[in-house]
Chain A
Amino acid sequence: MIASVIHQIVQMALVLALAPLLTGWVRLVKARLLGRRGPSLLQPYRDLARLLRKEVVLANNASWLFRSVPYVMFTAIWLAAGLVPVFTTDLALAPTADLIALIALLGTARFFLALAGMDTGTSFGGIGSSREMMIAALAEPAMLMVVFSVAVLVRTTSLAEIATYMMGGTVGLRVSLALALIALVMVAIAENARIPIDNPATHLELTMVHEAMVLEYSGRHLALIEGAAMLKLLLYAALIVCVFLPWGMATPTQGNPLIGLLSFLAKLAAAGTALAVFETSIAKMRVFRVGEFLGGALLLSLLGAIFLYVSRGV
């Protein structure tokens, strides 16, 4: 009990600490792949710190909602990230929320960010919000289908139990799991506004989605939102890791949290590299192709759910 509480606190701190690092790592690798030296690993920390110190510039008709959204969003994603077992499954908050609740938490964050986008009454916020919600409308079902296929195998939606079960290795290789993995990766890319869905580095209004929503943000608010974005990236990486390759993670009964932590760092690095490679190798697609992309993800995940019954009777 005590241990789980401590683990939980460590986890909250850990994700907070690691999130910028991951982002930095991805940027660095991308730069190197493009033959640039690229910024230092710690650049994201510096950016956040600078933003936090800056004053906030608010649009005249910004409401209280606009000002509170960054905090709400950051908290929601932080909490969600804290729920994904990274180095141990023995977390105090594990039973309060399962995968579904986690997805819903992310949904909350998105909901409020989209509202914030509409608040200042410029057209760009609107563009961002409407596109974001359209993307989410397809990403969420795909995500839930992934959950479905996993949960049907594991008979649970609690992440801790999933991880434990997967470590048991009784599952073996499954077509459906492969499909689910692909779907989940596609969703992750979409949700984190990465190429080819969106370009985190763009500032051309017509092509941007996420950036358009946060266009009016500045100072500490922008810092929180950037931080939340980084947390989200970490969260998805951790989620994929936790569900599909949880080996090395500690459980209440066995394993050492430290080992789990080290293995997690390694997996994270690998994931970051993979993302970077992927992003450098393809180009951004038009916003209205996104529907097809995510529709594909949804179908893949659905196929995965159906394959469950085909491959081995469940």
Chain B
Amino acid sequence: MTPALPFVLIAPLVAALLLVLVPNWRVASWLNVGACAVTLAAALTLFTAKPAATAMLVLDAFNVTLIALTAFVGLTTSVFSASYIGHEVASGKLNPLRLRFYHAMYQAFLFTMLLALSANNLGVLWVAVEGATLTTVLMVSLYRTAASIEAAWKYFILCGVGIALALFGTILIYLAAQPVMGPGLAAMTWTRLLADSAKIEPNILNLAFVFLLIGYGTKVGLAPLHAWLPDAHAEGPTPISAVLSGLLLNVALYAVLRFKMLLAANGATMAPGPLMMVMGLSSLFLAGLMLYRRRDIKRFFAYSSIEHMGIIAFAFGIGGPLANFAGLLHMAMHSLTKSAIFYAVGHAVQAKGTQKIDGIRGLTVSHPALGWGLLAGVLAIAGLPPFGVFMSEFLLITNTFARQPLLALLLVLGILLAFGALVLRVQQICFGAPTGESHPIHGTLAPLYAHLALVLLAGLWLPGPLVAWFQTVAAMLG
């Protein structure tokens, strides 16, 4: 095992412990950035490393990109948060003590997610996801406003139950595997399970998958398990909304997909596809309709995240090399784009002093750089070229229609439904005569534009290795 992978995990852990001790929030925020940079550097070295899987950790085509992505978004978000929290302190929404806690939690959160991504042991995976839940709950309730506490509470209860169900699913997996590979760690080690998945009793796998899908699916935010997501995004600090949408949802989905691979490899199980497609489409339509009535800009984009998770779930549900590729690409694109949007939203909310969409008008006039950035982000997430999301949606829709015309029609309808709402709102937000108060923007827009640049690049050209990784994973997902 190269030291890189453990180091990727250790760096944020150590940083978290350090940050608890740092009283000055300015220093802390930049320490935070530094720690993320180190993590990212370590994560990037993983591209070259090809370590063998251990009982606890694994590095393969699937998680290597996600780890890098997580580290990257973690870094950009930390930069954004450094410029964001200053204003929050100035406006008295946060005090240094809470910020100390916030930075520590931020690193802890990154740690749990990186752990979940690199875990080879299903138990560790579960513990990591649960840890991610706990840390984010704390950060969602950071403002201690009634609404934020209520959101955190809802998030906590719903995801707690979800986590519980996921654990039951995990136990079932072990139960199914234990007769084949004997008691002990082996029967909970993902690589081993995948290797002799064919021998495992398929019926228990079915049962297990149901619990895992419902359990982890709660964290993915698939309807009807989505209820926690909009409020958690809306009431927490915006950097947290960014990492929730950009990273946590992906990690939860990653967990589901790992188990889908098990089923695919087993062959004799039920097809998990229809289940995922139904949940995906329902999320898509629910979010699409919900978008029309949202008045809170952050909740608005939270629902858009639900929509996209629905699209991704649908893609993996229908399966096949092209659709799976589209799903993976969409995961990456969505996390980059959506976090970028939340950076822009964060600045916009601070500049206009409100989270209500009605209060935010004519951004391209009042804050051109921000306004056009937000516009580009929303257009990208709406699936307009030349951004990367278009490519995944292109592959998904064309491929689906050739195979399942009716489903493709539903998919297109749902996407158009959401598209209508997005256009409606983005025009209100970005164009027209500016209204209300208008403060200068604090901090840099670099993270926003960095993400947009990546998404644009991906829309025009994908690097070969990435494509190769995605294709192998697509094959594994069946």
Chains A, B in direct contact (C-beta < 8 Å): no
The chain B residues found within 8 Å of chain A, CB to CB, are none
